[in-house]
Chains A and B, each alone.
Chain A
Amino acid sequence: MAERPSQPGAELARLLFLGLLGLLFLMPYIWMISASLKPLDEIFRASLNLIPEGGGTLRNYARVLAEVPVAQYLWNGIVVCAGILLFQLMFAVPAGYAIAKLNFPGREWVFGAVMLGLLVPHHVPALPLYVGLSWLGWLNTYASLIIPSTISVFAIFLFRQFFKALPDELIHAARIDGMGELSIVWRVIMPNALPAATAFAIFSVVAHWNDLFWPLIAVTGHERATPALAILYYRSEEAGDDFGALMAASVIMTAPLVLAFLLAQRRFVEGIATTGLKG
């Protein structure tokens, strides 16, 4: 708030307060990693030592890797997130372009439908989607995890806003060059929409890597379990009260996104807070 250089005392107090609170915020991560490196008897002694006695052990991680198909879970997470994102872009980018830049009958209706769709949380269509997928016999497949999320009205809305700001001359020039509308979308519009597409991609991947609600409905069993489900299964079937192993499993499944966030912090914040307005 202060425009002139504020007193060094106030600045120090602020930094100290923020630093202590920040440390408190990180406690779940610190203890999770610490416990994952401790042998079980040390965890049960409930000491407040963060550093494991004797330098710690990787046995918990070895146990998790030996007991459950970790690579399969992570792969499932990647396939599901990539599949969802691919379809979302394939559907939303052309639609966003058409609503923003083309005159066609019913355009207002389409845009109205998009706005209406923004009002509905994804939990609402879940029951009928479950019945439909179960009737088709598609539960427990990648398809059942991917298909319900392929339409993102939010993506259509976002791209429509972004494309509206692009100059019409860009499109006219492409038309004069004889390009069809579909190649205009992918070869002229898309390269210019990369900032919006990146932000949306981060938003989408974070949302679906972290989602528990839909995978819990669509999947039973390990074969197609996503990272979120994998932790639940591991706790109920293998780890039980062994918090060392459970924390190791949680670290493994949480790490990919957290590492990505630490590497591209600014983009993540932009992607989720400006894109994630829908919540």
Chain B
Amino acid sequence: MPEAALPARALRAPASQARGARGEALAGLFLTLPAGISYVLLLLLPTIAAVLLAFTDYELGAPDVRWIGIENFRELVDDRGFVISLRNTIVYVGIVAPASIAGALVLALLIEATTRGKALFRAVFFLPVVSLPVGMATAWQYLLHPTIGPVNAFLRDVGVAGPAWLTSSDTVLLSLAFIGIWEAIGFNLVLFLAGLTAIPRELHQAAEVDGVRSAWERFRLVTWPLLGPTTLFVVTITMIRSVRVFDSVAVLTQGGPNRASEVLLYTMYTEGFTFFRLGYSAAITLVFLVIVLGLMLLQTKVLDRRVHYG
């Protein structure tokens, strides 16, 4: 392939050899320039602006902006809506992350052990990862509808009165978490499958020769320790992904009923783009950013200390 891509113009060779280090430096700068400009304009400056905004009382359409220091953050602490939103987000992550990780691990071990249908099962469980979340959320809205939804129709048939999944404050967060698990499990499954493939088969055979008879003991002594780096990675990426829950809330509950499903990004969205309190919204964004950075820091800390196999 490389030969085909190269026109043979050997005559110009001396000129290009003479170009030297300065030419290379110029070329390097020239090639990074487009990315550099868009990086500064679309990522660096807006991010800095968002951080600065968090310390102002800026509202869209307001005549002037004042620097108010940490006033927004002081207001956040006293804002019942925000505190509920933060708590809901933590509960949501606390359900979705462990359940989707444990579920994906079990599925990965089962799929790895089967001799047929591997690709089919992987595709089935991965399907939600690529499906339009808004479209699937409306499908869940129908499935979980209190009167005409198939889930409650099924429960009625077996003699149980199903709850109003998405419209009762007792069950709404749980229902959203369930949808979140359904969306996340396939992604984690694929990461675990990749991790499992990397474990040499001889190790399991060696363990068996050494008298480790039960499958569970082999998992505990061989698979689990060697899967450590993968697991750690899956844990942090799942937490970071589920802190960003937005679509299902925006489509199904708008944070309701009575703020029972209010989550960080949705609160940030309504403060910023419905009430146009951009300064306050930026403060929420900053809280969100600190949580995400904290999770990433946790990953590198643990990674430095614990990972022995990669």
Q: Do A and B share a complex?
A: yes
Verify if A175 is at the interface (C-beta below 8 Å from B): yes
- The contact string, 1 if C-beta is below 8 Å from chain A, for chain B 120-148, is 01111111111111111011101101011
A43–B142 Cα distance when bound, in Å, is 10
Interface of A is mostly: helix
In the assembled complex, how far is the CB of residue A89 from the closest CB belonging to chain B, in whole angstroms?
A: 11
A243–B119 Cα distance when bound, in Å, is 33
A259–B142 Cα distance when bound, in Å, is 22
Contact A257 B46 (CB under 8 A): no
Q: A residues within 8 A CB of B95?
A: none
Given known pairs A127-B272, A258-B127, the reply for A46 and B148 (CB within 8 Å) is yes
Contact A127 B123 (CB under 8 A): no
Q: Which residue of B lies closest to A217 (CB)?
A: B273
Verify if A197 is at the interface (C-beta below 8 Å from B): no
Contact A102 B28 (CB under 8 A): yes
In the assembled complex, how far is the CB of residue A213 from the closest CB belonging to chain B, in whole angstroms?
A: 6
Of B16, B28, B117, B247, the contact of A178 (CB 8 Å cutoff): B16
In the assembled complex, how far is the CB of residue A70 from the closest CB belonging to chain B, in whole angstroms?
A: 13
Verify if A37 is at the interface (C-beta below 8 Å from B): no
Contact A227 B292 (CB under 8 A): no
Given known pairs A1-B109, A48-B157, A258-B130, the reply for A191 and B223 (CB within 8 Å) is no
Contact A102 B24 (CB under 8 A): yes
Of A1, A178, A253, the contact of B9 (CB 8 Å cutoff): A178
Contact B35 A94 (CB under 8 A): yes
Contact B112 A1 (CB under 8 A): yes
Verify if A86 is at the interface (C-beta below 8 Å from B): no
Q: Which of A165-211 contact B (CB under 8 A)?
A: 170, 173-182, 185, 187-188, 191-192, 206, 209-210
A34–B160 Cα distance when bound, in Å, is 24
Q: Bin the interface of chain A by size.
A: 35 or more
Verify if A97 is at the interface (C-beta below 8 Å from B): yes
Q: B residues within 8 A CB of A182?
A: 30-31
Contact A150 B42 (CB under 8 A): yes
- The contact string, 1 if C-beta is below 8 Å from chain A, for chain B 224-247, is 000000000100010011001011
Contact B39 A117 (CB under 8 A): yes
Of B27, B43, B49, B244, the contact of A153 (CB 8 Å cutoff): B43
Of B6, B11, B124, the contact of A26 (CB 8 Å cutoff): B124
Contact A150 B38 (CB under 8 A): yes
Of A27, A243, A269, the contact of B190 (CB 8 Å cutoff): A269
Report how many residues on chain B are interfacial, defined by Cβ distance under 8 Å: 117
In the assembled complex, how far is the CB of residue B246 from the closest CB belonging to chain A, in whole angstroms?
A: 6
Verify if A58 is at the interface (C-beta below 8 Å from B): no
Of B44, B53, B122, B138, the contact of A269 (CB 8 Å cutoff): B122
Verify if B296 is at the interface (C-beta below 8 Å from A): yes
- The contact string, 1 if C-beta is below 8 Å from chain B, for chain A 94-107, is 11011100111111
Contact A147 B42 (CB under 8 A): yes
- Residue among B133, B143, B150, B288 having the largest count of chain A Cβ atoms under 10 Å: B150
Q: B residues within 8 A CB of A246?
A: 138, 142
In the assembled complex, how far is the CB of residue A176 from the closest CB belonging to chain B, in whole angstroms?
A: 5
One of B85-93, B277-285, B301-309 contacting the partner: B277-285
Q: A residues within 8 A CB of B140?
A: 28
Contact B39 A178 (CB under 8 A): no
Of B12, B190, B244, the contact of A123 (CB 8 Å cutoff): B244
- The contact string, 1 if C-beta is below 8 Å from chain B, for chain A 250-266, is 11011001100110011
The 9 closest A-B pairs by CB, nearest first: A104-B28, A178-B12, A125-B46, A95-B35, A254-B135, A128-B49, A181-B27, A102-B28, A94-B31
Given contact pairs A92-B35, A192-B1, a sample of 15 additional A-B residue pairs in the complex whose CB atoms are under 8 Å apart:
A25-B128, A26-B127, A28-B139, A31-B139, A95-B35, A98-B28, A117-B44, A120-B289, A121-B244, A174-B6, A179-B6, A182-B30, A217-B273, A232-B250, A272-B187
A-B contact pairs, 13 of them (CB 8 A): A18-B121, A28-B139, A97-B31, A98-B32, A102-B25, A127-B50, A127-B282, A150-B38, A153-B43, A178-B13, A217-B273, A243-B148, A261-B130
Binding site for B on A (CB under 8 A): 1-3, 6, 11, 14-15, 17-18, 21-22, 25-29, 31-32, 35, 43-44, 46-48, 87, 90-92, 94-95, 97-99, 102-107, 110, 113, 117, 119-121, 123-132, 134, 147-148, 150-151, 153, 156, 170, 173-182, 185, 187-188, 191-192, 206, 209-210, 212-213, 216-217, 227-229, 231-232, 235, 243, 246-247, 249-251, 253-254, 257-258, 261-262, 265-266, 268-269, 272-274, 276-277, 279
